[in-house]
Every structure is written in structure tokens, then in C-alpha cells.
Structure 1
Amino acid sequence: MSALVTGDAVVLGLRPARLPSRALALLIDMVVAWAAYLIVSFALLLATASLDDAAQAAIAVALFVLVLVGAPIAVETLTHGRSLGKAACGLRVVRDDGGPIRFRHALVRGAMGVVEVLLTFGVVACIASLVSERGRRIGDVFAGTLVVRERVPAGRAASVPPPPPWLMGRFSGLDLSAVPDALWLAIRQYLTRMGQLDAQVSWTMAIRLADDLVARTGAPAPEGVPPAAYLAAVMAERQSRDARRAFGAAHASWGGGGSVAGASASAAATGGASASGPVAPGPLDKAGNPAAPTWTAAPPRTAAAPSVPTAGPGSEPDSPPATGFAPPA
């Protein structure tokens, strides 16, 4: 199975798990689950020997649902996609855009797993994984998830670059609920590979993605912010929110490792943009929708934002800096 590739031919760092590793992980999980089920069933059989047949049947059904269905859902929810078998095989369940799964994703996967795995002994799941280009079973399709390999050779997985310091925390109040996962995935792919693209192509893609993001959020981008820097700042804000939901506020951090509070303090110390409130809505067009932003070449050279680094001696004065957040020459 090939790596995840977007429509712009950009390869995603996460790689889908192959069927053998997924089957091994499932086998480990099923052995543990059935062992727990048999042990608890034997203990309850001794404890409820005096009950009638109807009560014992009801207890058996409840035990089956709790141990073989509810327990895997709870484990995937609490571990954010890593069951015992997946942890042993270096796998994890993630959303289609690479983010951590939540309870609703684990619930759909577990509910479909009753038919795919338990009732058919994994035959349906294996067939669906073989047919799917990314190795997804039916539960993954309905839940919008994907099983990926966490253990990859060093240097293969690309990370999203952090935004410029003067944009850290700038979009803390932006409403991101209407942005679809497909757009987040496209933005992530662009940011991780923009340095490998032609300068003009990279600039055009950044403008198109930024316009799509502005249309979804309903708030125009600040003037003077390059589109790539705007995308990086909003992506960092989204990752910070995902980290707070998944691991708590103490673990929410930017891609570079600093905390959100530290990033805001750093931006304030360097004269960066304030993160005290949401981005104010901009002008509207005749239809009442946010007006399309006008992208400028670089952030304004004022005290409110650090100046763009200048090139070395003998280079062109208008050449883009090494950050990748400036237009092509």
C-alpha cells in the first residue's frame, strides 16, 4: 500500500498500516479480550449459579457487550487510538487528517467491529482492507479513521513548521468548526512540503488554500500577513486545541515545543501581535460574506511585527527569505 498522497501530489508523512501488521495487532487484542471474557464469565457463573436461566442469559449478554465491545472502545478512546495489540505492533488509529481520534470515532469502529470481526471472525475486515487502497476496514470508512504506522525510519516523517513568532496566538479566538478535515489535510501537506515546490507554484497554492480557509472561518486574514505564514499560524492553533482536548492544557504546545502561553509571551516580548482576543471580522461583500483577502508581499515592517530577515551580501534584496513565508522573487 502506498503512502497517503493529496491531489497536489504531496506525500503525507504518516503511512497506512499493512494488512499483516493489522492482523497481528487484532489477533493480540482478540486473545486478550477473549481471555478476559472467559475469566470473568467463569467467575460470574460461580457467583450466579443460584439464578434462573433467564437471569443468567441476560448476564451473559451484558458481559459479552461490555468485555468484547465496550472494553475495546474504552481502550481506544483513553489511549487515543492505541490498543494493546496496536501498541505492540507500532500502530495507531488516527483521523483522516492525521489528528487523534475521539470517543465517536472509537464508538463507530467498535460498533462495526461486531460484524466485521466478532461475528465473521475477521473475514469481512480482511476483505475490506484488501479492497481499500489505504487498507481501511468498513468501520474506518464510516468513522473517518485510518490505521497508520507510528514506527517509521528516522527523518522520513515531515513535521509542520511553526508559524513566525509574531503570529503565535494571533488566532486563538478563531472559529475553526466549519473547516473540513480534507482542507486541514491539504494545508498540512502544503506546509510540510512547500520548501520542495517551485517558488511560484508554492505561492499560488498558499493563496488558494488561504482563500479556502478564510471562506470557511468567516474572518479575513490580517493585512500584511503572507498566506503561508497565515496557514502555519492557523494550523498551529488547531494543533494546540487538539492537544488540549486529547492530553489536557498542560500538554498543549506549538510545533516547536513551546507552550501556548509561552508563545504568546514570546510574541509580546518581541513586539508581536496580541493574542488577547479573537480575530475581528473584516469587511463584507454585497452578499454579506467576508470579502476576499488581499495578500501582500510580507508583514509590515513596524514595531508590531519583526522585520523580514535580509539576505546576505551580494544577494538580491527582494529575494524571499529562507522561512518560506514570503512570495517568490
Structure 2
Amino acid sequence: MAVQSSFDPQAFRAALGTFTTGVTIITTQAEDGSPIGITANSFNSVSLNPPLVLWSLAKKARSLPVFTNGRHWNVHVLSAEQEALSGRFATQGEDKFAEVELDSGVSEAPLLQDCTARFQCRTAFQYEGGDHVIFVGEVLAFDHNERPPLAFQSGQYALATRKPRNELRLATTPPPPDCSYTEDLLGYLLGRAHYQMLNALRRLLNNQQLDEHAFFILSVLCIRDRLTLDEINAFVSYTGHSASLASMRFLEGQKLVARELNGEDTRYVLTADGREASLQELALAKAVEEDVSDKLGAGDAMALKVLLKRLIAASDPGLPDLWAPR
């Protein structure tokens, strides 16, 4: 790792950015009664007894006089669903509190809802800190819940995921001779997770007299109707299965799919029974997902989805976007 021999402010900022933090909104009330709020990631704990926390604000910030002269302020640790709210309070020149629901607190400082944690504070000390002012507050009241928190790392929003020490086998033992296959191989991890969830779904689908291949076809037609056989296959080819005329005739026989003839084109549409069957299958798939999500926890499940979306984008061979507007 290269060591900076001369001080470069931009490099220093980038180095500081590697420290992952939470994202907070700090609120107070101005003397004229107007609500004030800013996004900050400089929040930190100071003391448990007495209960003290701190955060810092740039001296050039327009809201500095309000916080300097004020007595009370609230720290809101944002949940992963509040990324848009973070962006709003980081922007100047708009009514940040428009249509934002507030709770009543111990002071007149605005108290936002649906956060991962909230700390209602009274200023205890203020310190000069270079180009910032450091505010240390006594915590008068606080609350928290199980919502996964929003994180910030290297200039981007992030999601935190747990790494339990005793829950995972990290494949530290060497592989057998002449074999480099380990439990940490991404393909193995993805494949095993996929087939375990698919097996759980398959057992539920067996009660519907449909298999997962029919589930894929009906799901595609539920999202985008009136497709040719080639168009259906363009959307399901990643599964390793292809929709055939025989499989479409089977679904027709089950009165789940109907054909529309348009010149030389044959297009397939869902019947009312087909749409109902697709919605029932989706409910089964969501039940499997909810069971896994409950075991992972909401934060880890959300982080997993983000990583899988990035992996899909990185490995996409050029499949059409099923959800793209026509």
C-alpha cells in the first residue's frame, strides 16, 4: 500500500471516505420557529455515563448560526429505506420538511419518523475543530428499532451486512490434493443457494400441478403479455430451459394460456385463469423468500438483493430487460 509522503487534501478526503459510517439527519428549530435539518455522517458516541454524543458542522454551513445559538437538536440515524430523505436534506434551496410527518419530542426540534434510531439532545459543549464546529450533546431521550440502517462508504450509499463469527464456516481448511474447489467458490455458493430455494419452491408448486418451468413462462406473460414463442424464450433462456410448442400446448390445455393469431405471428396471452395461477405461484415464491429473509434479517436480505443485482448486471450476456417499458 502506497503511503502519502506529501499532504493532498483530496487524497485525505478519499482516505477518510474508506471509513464506513451511518447516515444521519440533524434537526433543530430556528428562533422564528422554522424547522432546520441537514444530512451528516459525522455523528459518533462520546460517553455512556453521562450519555453524550457528538457531530460536527462546517463553519461555512448556512445553518451554523442556528445550531450554534440553539439549545436542542435531534439526531436521526436513517434506515436503508430513507436514502431519498438523506438526499433531500443534503440539498439546499428546497422545503426539506414538505409533507414529512413528524413526532412530538422532548423539545421543539423536529423529530422525524421511521428512522433506525433517534437521539434527542441538548447542547452540552461546542468546540472549534479546524474548519468545523464540534457539537457535543447530552442525550435526553432516545429510541431505536430493527430497521436496517443506511450506510455511507467512499462517497456512495451502502448497506451493512453482518458477519457472525460462529455462524459461517469460512473454508479455512486446505482443499483435497489436486483440487482447488472450496466452499468460497462463488459459483458453488450461488448454485447451492439457488437450488435450495428452488427446491423449496418446487415442493410448493407440486401442489399446484405445475413445475418451475411453467412458473417461469407464466411469470413472464404476467409481466409482459402477447409474446411470441421466440420472445418468451429470450426472457427465460437464462434458466437453461426453453419454452417449446409442446409446453405451450400443455398450458393451453390447462386453460392458462391462449393463442392470438396475427398474420404469420402466433402470440401468447394469459387467460384469467392463467393470471390467477401466476399470482398464486408468485405468492408461493414470496413465501419462500420471506422465510429466508426472516432467517437472514431484513438488513442482510436487502444487502443480498443489491449484490445480486450488481452481479446480474456484471454477468449479463445481453438479455432483454423484462421490466423495460415498451
> More relative contact order in 1 or in 2 (CA 8 Å, sep 6+)?
1
Q: Which has the higher helix share?
A: 1
The higher radius of gyration belongs to 2
Q: TM-score, normalised to structure 2's length?
A: 0.25
